[in-house]
Every structure is written in structure tokens, then in C-alpha cells.
Structure 1
């Protein structure tokens, strides 16, 4: 079990802190809180995969902490395992109904504790795998539109707060239908797979990401960037696609294709919306199409 998984322990008893730490520290990254006063802030900062929560704390009831965790969109999905000296069935029922995933009474067996923690972390891992698969385009292995929408909302909000500039490239393969008609849809899939590799290799910063928008359209997100980087990256992508040679499945004949690209650089304002700027970059893409294809059309906002 990798220590990449983080567990927050909210427990004021020194003895139980030591027992929990000794049982779990080799397998997980741990942090301990003795009070619940700043529980939400700590959870958001530490971003644990699992919370071990005592219900009896010196300053606030564990039930109140659990309620706050489940009411917040930022912490609602984090599983909470209650470990407490409260041993009534009513308390256990209340905790589970409020959203806890498990309930362990003190004193507890460290063997059973470790097994239950391992089971819940395994569930977290499985959920992560399912979510990851749901964000990946199976053909190109690039993030899909669902993932792009999520990333765009996040980066848009960050740019709005910090007044950073955000670049967006929307590209569409020129005459892809003709390519499919000429070489077949299986060959078209091979072309899209190779394009995915080209996009991955062209991007240089770890924060830049290329996604499959749908069909033969792809989108690139360039956070915290400037005009030069947007223009250079758009032209480099256009040029690398033009230079790309994809051999046919049948007779290994090299095939080529080009792409048109709409590029936009925006510093978001409170009155702006993501949808407005996606519409603008879409218009720039089709302007590139109308004016001859295999080219980049760029605008910056505010002007």
C-alpha cells in the first residue's frame, strides 16, 4: 500500500493517538488533530482520502463535525470512519445515517482497525480508477470533453481570482470526412490516435493539457500563459500535424492531413462566462476554415 493515501485522525486522547499512529504510519501519510475547531479548514488543506473521527472531543461534538463535512461540497465525498467510546446502538445508527462509512468502538483491535482502513482505502482507489476511466477518451487516450470541462472550470476560477491569462486552442482536422471516405474509418481511427501522440509530445509545460473535444475536434488548455506562448504553441501544433505522416493499414502508404485552429487568450472578468469564450474560440476556428484552412486565427480579450 503506497503512502500516497492520506488519513486525517481527529482524536484528542493521547493514548489512542499513539495507537492509531503506530498501526497506520507505515502505510499511509497521517495528520492528527486534537480538536474540531478548525476541522473543515484542515480537511481542505490536507485533502485526506479517509478521516478517522472521534465523536467525543473537548470543544465540539464529532457529530457536528460530521454534519459540516457532509454539508460541504468540497468534503462531502471523503469517507469518515468513526472511532469512539460511545457504544450505544443509537449513536452508531446516528453516525451511519449522517454519512459515516463505518463505526468502530473503543477499545478496538488494531488488526481489525487496519483491515477496515485498508478496505475503505481500497474502495477509494477503485473509485479513483472508475473516475479516471470516465475522463479518458478510449481511442486517443487523451482526456475527454468531460475532463476538459472540469479543468476549464477550475482554471477559469483560478484565473479570475488571480487575474492570470488563460489560453484556449480549439482545432479541427481539415477534410477529415474526405479522409475517412478515401481510406476507411479504421484508418481514420489510426490517424486520430497518432494525432493524440503528436499533441502530447508538442505540449511542453506540465500544466498544459490537450483533450479530445469530440469527433475530429481537439482542445488545448494553456493556464497562466501569454500571447507569445499561445501563438507559438498554436503554430507548433498546426505545423506538427501538417508534418505528421500516417501509414495506411492496407499498403503502408503515407497519408497526411492538416488542421485549422482557433486560439484565444483571456483574462477573465466577473461579467464573463466560460460559455461565451468557448463560443468565441469556436468562431475563430471556423474563420480559419473559411479563409483557407490549415491556419491559426487568434484574438485576445480584453482587447
Structure 2
């Protein structure tokens, strides 16, 4: 997920000419947060970290030209969604065609004309905003309004790969509303739907960092992706979520666990290695969830990934569980 403030567009200028960077920055400062790099490799590094909405990219740069930078950005899942406009002194048909074939959405010729630059940048920022809104609608659960299973499946795959590359811990939490069938049978399906909506809203409010993703996994199950979260941080989050659900204090008639709605959760956190698939990570969290339910519900369990040993296969380690 990008590090920039939600809702604030970000433009990255990649050009080896400081004068061009200053000119473009002054022209566009009122439209977005401006980032810049003076060579292709630095531009790629910034783009991977910040994932800008729009990149203004020079073609003629030493060591790594704009075409190579564009192809690298478009081949990387972390950066391929950003729009790229080439800004260059070459205005011939061949250069423009190469730019479009490399993955650019537009081409601005030097010398720069301020009105044209602003108009084209505004057009592509608008298109980016519209594309994001359409994508959000396609990825939202109709009942709860949070992300749906399809989006979760896409994001857990992306985050496993990203955390593997960056050697960072990734946390995952699977949540199940306790005795939900009994709740439906007792108070009716309309109240059951309202319960799921309130639980979803509470989970979303508990996930405070923009990078954290809360999704409806299916039925009364939810999933939360916790980027950069090691096991202690993941367990703290688990405590925080259970506390928030208890404070919701939704009456649950006939529940053998509590007078109010409660949840059970399974937690896992690890630095993904080459053997860890998204499916395996989900299975580990699901095993921890099953353990939490079998031990009385209204709690979480953590799946502790064992250290690999040379005297046994690395495939699917049994792991262990620990109470909070």
C-alpha cells in the first residue's frame, strides 16, 4: 500500500535535469504531492516505496533511459498501476510509439508549455481517481461495505510476495463470530445482517493504519491483513480487536459463551520464505482459529511458525499454538 496520505495524489518526476524538475514542480505543486529523482534507478526505488499516481519520466537519461525505467515499473506488481507520461525533447512519431509500447499513457514534448502540462496531468490524475473508485466498488462486500473475498485473495498474494522481497514480517488474522447460527435462529436474519455490519465496522475502525486490510472472508468470517506486523504486534492487535468487539456489547441471547456477541480469532505472523504460499499462511491462521474455538471461543490463538530444521523436510511444519 502506498505511504502517502489517503486521498492525496502523488506525482513522481524522474529527470536528470534539475531545472526541469523545478519547473514541473512549480507547475504542479497545487495538484499533488511532488516527489522527484534525478536518475532511473532512484526513480524506481521511490516508486516502489510510495507508489505514485502519476510519473513524469524523461527518456534521455544516463545509465538507464526512460524506456527501461518504464518497462521495469510496468513489470513490477508494486508499481504497474501508476500512470506514466514521458516528458522529452524528442517529438518524433517513433519516440512516441516506443513510449506507448513501453507502457506510457501519454507523451509531452519539450520545450514544455505550462497550460498543456497542467491539462494533461489533471486528465490522467482524474482517470486514476475514477479507476480507483471503480476498483473499490468491484472489491466491496455488498452487505458490510468492507472489502470482499476476491480483494482479500488478491492482496494476500501481493503482500506475501512483497514481504518476501523486503524481508519483512507479515501478520494475518482470521475472525469468526461466535455462535452466529444460533444468533440468526434466535433474533432473525435481519438482525443477523445488522450484527455482521456492526462487527465489520468495528473491525475496520480497529485497523487504524491505512495499509491494514479488513475483508469479509465468507459468511460470519472476516480476515485482516497486517503488513509489517511481527508476532508481538499481531498479538497486540488481536487483543485490541477482541476488546473492541466486547465493548460493542451486542446482546446474544442463548449464547453458551457470553451474554453479548463475541469473536474467536486465529493469528499468524512470519517473514515469508520461498516455501510460504498465501494458501499456507491462511491455513495456519485457520488452524489457530479452530484451536481458539475448541478452547472456549471469545479469544484468539496464535500459530507459531517453527524454525526450519535440517534433519526434517521443510514442507508443511506442524507449528504450535499459544494462548494470549
TM-score range, shorter chain: 0.7 to 0.9
| Counterpart for residue 70 of structure 1 | 74
Contact 1:172 1:217 (C-alpha < 8 Å) held by counterparts: yes
> Which of 84, 87, 93 lines up with 1:89 in the alignment?
93
Question: Is 1:98 the equivalent of 2:139?
Answer: no
> Which of 216, 224, 232 lines up with 2:229 in the alignment?
224
| Counterpart for residue 178 of structure 1 | 182
Provide the TM-score with structure 2 as the length reference.
0.70
Q: Distance in 2 between matches of 1:73 and 1:163?
A: 17
Q: Distance in 2 between matches of 1:14 and 1:206?
A: 33
Distance 1:184 1:114, change over 3 A: same
Contact 1:263 1:297 (C-alpha < 8 Å) held by counterparts: yes
Q: Distance in 2 between matches of 1:205 and 1:42?
A: 21
Q: What whole-Å deviation, never above 9, does each CA across 1:257-283 have from its counterpart, x for those lacking one?
A: 343333445565554444234223323
Shift of 1:101: 1.1
| Counterpart for residue 169 of structure 1 | 173
Distance 1:108 1:74, change over 3 A: same
| Counterpart for residue 262 of structure 1 | 266
Structure 2 counterparts to residues 12-91 of structure 1, below 5 A: 12=16, 16-36=20-40, 38-45=42-49, 47-57=51-61, 61-91=65-95
Q: Distance in 1 between matches of 2:285 and 2:25?
A: 52
Q: Distance in 2 between matches of 1:21 and 1:36?
A: 18
Where 1:282 maps in the other structure, the secondary structure is: helix
| Counterpart for residue 252 of structure 1 | none
Task: Give unmatched runs, 5+ long, in structure 2.
Answer: 1-5, 253-258, 307-319
Task: Give unmatched runs, 5+ long, in structure 1.
Answer: 249-254
Superposed CA RMSD = 3.9
Provide the TM-score with structure 1 as the length reference.
0.74
Distance 1:91 1:189, change over 3 A: same
State which drifts further: 185-194 or 271-280: 271-280
Distance 1:130 1:281, change over 3 A: same
Contact 1:3 1:29 (C-alpha < 8 Å) held by counterparts: no
Where 1:213 maps in the other structure, the secondary structure is: strand
Shift of 1:114: 0.7
Distance 1:186 1:9, change over 3 A: same
Contact 1:56 1:62 (C-alpha < 8 Å) held by counterparts: yes
Q: Distance in 2 between matches of 1:276 and 1:144?
A: 20
> Which of 138, 142, 146 lines up with 2:146 in the alignment?
142
Where 1:63 maps in the other structure, the secondary structure is: helix
Question: Is 1:109 the equivalent of 2:126?
Answer: no
Contact 1:267 1:301 (C-alpha < 8 Å) held by counterparts: no
Contact 1:3 1:27 (C-alpha < 8 Å) held by counterparts: no
